[in-house]
Amino acid sequence: MAFEKIDHVGIAVPDLDAAVAAYERLTGLRPAHRQAVETDGVEAVMFEVGESRIELLGSTRADSKIAGFLAKRGGGLHHVAYGVADVQQSLDELAALGLRLLDTCPRRGAAGRLVAFLHPSAGGGVLTELCQPDRGAAGS
Ligand code: CO
């Protein structure tokens, strides 16, 4: 099962409000969506750019999912997210190919989507996210 599109590009930032202002200037757009994902200690802001999106990620606590990344790199390209029809099926197929997974089953991400991550070794050093719209959730 092939990837269908690049759903979004995730960028980790040390100051979310400053980054939102910068991306408003850069893109001429307003954010479409803002949501804290408590389980990850992350707050995500989505800019819709045509069919794709930019996801700005800020850390909300010291042990968040991106705290280590921010400490090491100070921010920047964090992940590339691909849209797939079925995250679980894609994970199973990629695992069968010997790729290293960070999630063996999908979980709920921002904007009511089912998401899962592959280890950066699968994507040339960049974290890979798989995502699929959750038909049971409200919103996008
Ligand atoms: Co993402």
Rounding to the nearest 10 degrees, give the CA dihedral for residues 36, 119, 63, 40. 20
> How far does residue 133's CA lie from ligand 1's centre (Å)?
12
d(CA 77, CA 87): 22
CB–CB of 59/67 below 8 Å?
A: yes
The count of domains in the chain is 1
pLDDT tens digits along 85-125: 999 999 999 999 999 999 999 988 766 789 999 999 999 99
Residue 47 lies in a domain: yes
Residue 138 lies in a domain: no
> How far does residue 6's CA lie from ligand 1's centre (Å)?
11
pLDDT tens digits along 58-93: 999 999 989 999 999 999 999 999 999 999 999 999
* Full domain range(s) for residue 85: 5-132
| Mean pLDDT on 22-49 | 94
Residue 140 lies in a domain: no
Residue 64 lies in a domain: yes
Residue 137 lies in a domain: no
Residue 107 lies in a domain: yes
Residue 16 lies in a domain: yes
> How far does residue 58's CA lie from ligand 1's centre (Å)?
12
Domain at 105, CATH number: 3.10.180.10
